[in-house]
Amino acid sequence: MMRKLKRDETVLAREIDQQKYKKNLWRFDWLDEVVSLSWKDEKSQKTQDVKLKVGDAFAKINLPGKAQCTLCNNVINYGSNGKTALKRHLKSNKHLTILKTQSVNQSLGSFGTDKVRTLKPHRHTPPLSLSLSLSLSLFLLLILSLSVKLI
Ligand SMILES: [Zn+2]
């Protein structure tokens, strides 16, 4: 099964890569490297400069020479080019299109894709879970008072 590897699994990651490749074995410090991009915003016609961290998008998976872009869900083969292949994907049109749509409401500079992903689903949950736990405790109270009456 495909699985994402954690930073402390460097040895395992390199063992997996060695099954198929002799060089360009995975290094977790690739994730700390930054790619600088700029594009022209269609609305404001201003050029936007963006810095992307490789680790904001990529996760090493347990397949030789492969990493997954968690933004596009694309599996990228870096086996023959190493980190260059990862950086090339970050600059690709496909990745940028998704990045732009995801960051529409975000101010420039805070380009954490993780942030975008975790913020969205939770936006409406606090009031819901609050009312849910409230009705649950009311229900429990009702049962409790009922059982008291029975005794
Ligand atoms: Zn991507």
Tell how far the Cα of 132 is from the centroid of ligand 1, in angstroms: 37
Domain assignment present for residue 125? The answer is no
Whether 89 maps to a domain, the answer reads yes
For residue 85, the SS3 value is helix
Question: Is residue 130 domain-resident?
Answer: no
Answer yes or no: is 23 within a domain: yes
| Domain range for 69 | 7-111
148 in any annotated domain: no
Chunk the chain into consecutive blocks of 10 residues (it has 151) and report each block's average pLDDT, rounded to whole numbers: 96 98 97 91 86 96 98 96 97 91 60 49 58 80 79 64
Task: Tell me the Ramachandran region of residue 55: left when phi exceeds 0, alpha when psi lies from -120 to 50, beta otherwise.
Answer: alpha
Count structural domains, the chain: 1
**Could you say which DSSP state residue 30 is in?**
G
Determine, yes or no, domain membership for 45.
yes
- Measured in Å, residue 95 CA sits from the centre of ligand 1 at 4
> Which pLDDT value is given to residue 72?
95
21-46 residues labelled b (16+ CB within 10 A) or e (exposed): beebbbbbebbeeebeeeeeeeeeee
Give the Å distance between the CA of 105 and the centre of ligand 1.
Answer: 19
- Reading the block at residue 13, the tokens are 């990651």
**C-alpha 98 to ligand 1 mean position (Å):** 8
Instruction: Return the pLDDT at 118.
Output: 47
The residues facing 61 across adjacent strands are: 4
Distance separating alpha carbons of residues 135 and 13, to the nearest angstrom? 48
* Ligand 1 centroid, distance to 97 Cα (angstroms): 9
How many Å lie between the centroid of ligand 1 and the Cα of residue 74? 6
Q: What's the rounded Cα separation, in Å, for the pair 56 and 112?
A: 6
146 CA distance to ligand 1 middle (Å)? 57
CA atoms within 13 A on the CB side of 140: 6
The answer to whether residue 151 sits within a structural domain is no
Beta 58-60 vs 34-40: how paired, if at all? unpaired
Q: Give the distance (Å) from ligand 1 centre to CA of residue 51.
A: 14
pLDDT of amino acid 89:
97
**pLDDT tens for residues 24-63?**
999 999 999 999 988 787 888 988 888 999 999 999 999 9
The answer to whether position 139 is within a domain reads no
Please state whether the predicted TM-score (pTM) of the whole model is above 0.75: no
Total residue count of the chain as it appears in this document: 151
Position 83 scores a pLDDT of 97
Structure tokens at 116: 């975008």
